[in-house]
Amino acid sequence: MPTPIVLPMMTASPKPRPRMRRSRPVEADLVVLPAVKVSETIPAPMDYRRLGRTGLKISRLALGCGNFGGIGSAPAFYGMGETEAQAVALLDRAWDAGMNLLDSADAYGGGRSEEFIGRWLETKGAAVRDQLVLSSKVYNPVGPSPNQRGLSRVHVLRQIDASLTRLGTDWIDLYLIHEPDPETPIEETLGALDDAVRLGKIRYIGASNVEAWRMAVARGVSDLRGLARFEWVQSSYSLLDRTAEREMLPFCAAEGVGFTAFSPLAGGWLTGKYRAKQPHPAGSRMTLRPEPYLHLDDQRVYRGLDNLAEAARARSVSMDALALAWVLSHPQVDAAIVGPRTPAHLDSALAAIDVALPADEAAALAALF
């Protein structure tokens, strides 16, 4: 015979105690909070898009922070690029414009880039940090030791902790390998990244400067071993560099892999700053680090730039806005990473968000080069 269930006896609730009359005005209990500007906690409207098949939404334009405190990862340029005050002005403008993705790396400016971002975040507070998507990378040398570079387990885990310290945060939303490391088995690198994901130090992992076949191999290893897998790729893509169209963008379409484009203005070439038979502007990439762009110094390219300028004038937009709109018009491109030197440069780039390019017009622009 089943044991009977005995319910507790219900008792009547005690009568409420009479409310006492207050002996002081109600206003005395009110706390007056300091006024906060809306722009300090709520970003402006911006177009956002899911990164690949993840649930993470990123702004179509991301702020590249590679020139904060240096010019990329090259030690020869540490201390150059934007000062901290200039970086703060760019970060403020990006936030006001609704750009939620900040792209940096452990070696940018010898760590200064992440430090500038971290100190800026400290002034903004948790409400802003929770809305931002921070991205960083690992691979390039950060010291003289052979174990202070590459994608070994030792270096990856050490650099994640170092980036967290510089950024002043408990987690990094997006973490990429900056390029492949042929000396380290991909299983070792993925194992280290997977551990960091499980510990909550990073949220998603990706790969930059990598070929489609390496992405396929890496994702296969992840699936086979139950490890976190590369959810997106970050590659160069612009009207002057369409290499990604051969294999990487079709791969992303087939596999649901996200794609963010760096150098969408080809190192400034698509802004109109470089002219045929004219000296390059002082402080430009062609005067500081010209090697990646020397092949563009060609009459055919200059003719294409002239035609692009004419197309931009016809639309009443800047050259850079039209060039960025072309990048964003590709169905597989989730975001373009811009590296403006001033807030005015950033404002010019932001105009790309409002430029709609039908497929036939995008094809016509591509045919210029």
Q: Which member of 108, 175, 237, 274 is catalytic?
A: 108
Q: For this structure, is 108 an active site residue?
A: yes
118 with 169: CB under 8 angstroms? yes
- In single-letter form, the type of residue at position 186 comes to I
346, 290, 361, 292: which is closest to 44 by C-alpha? 346
SS3 per residue for the chain: CCCCCCCCCCCCCCCCCCCCCCCCCHHHHCCCCCCCCHHHHCCCCCCEEECCCCCCEEECEEEECCCECCCCCCHHHCCCCECHHHHHHHHHHHHHCCCCEEECCCCHHHHHHHHHHHHHHHHHCHHHHCCCEEEEEECCCCCCCCCCCCCCHHHHHHHHHHHHHHHCCCCEEEEEECCCCCCCCHHHHHHHHHHHHHCCCEEEEEEECCCHHHHHHHHHHHHHHCCCCEEEEEEECECCECHHHCCHHHHHHHHCCEEEEECCCHHHHHHCCCCCCCCCCCCCHHHHCCHHHHHHCCHHHHHHHHHHHHHHHHHCCCHHHHHHHHHHCCCCCCEEEECCCCHHHHHHHHHHHHCCCCHHHHHHHHCCC
Active-site residues, by number, are 108
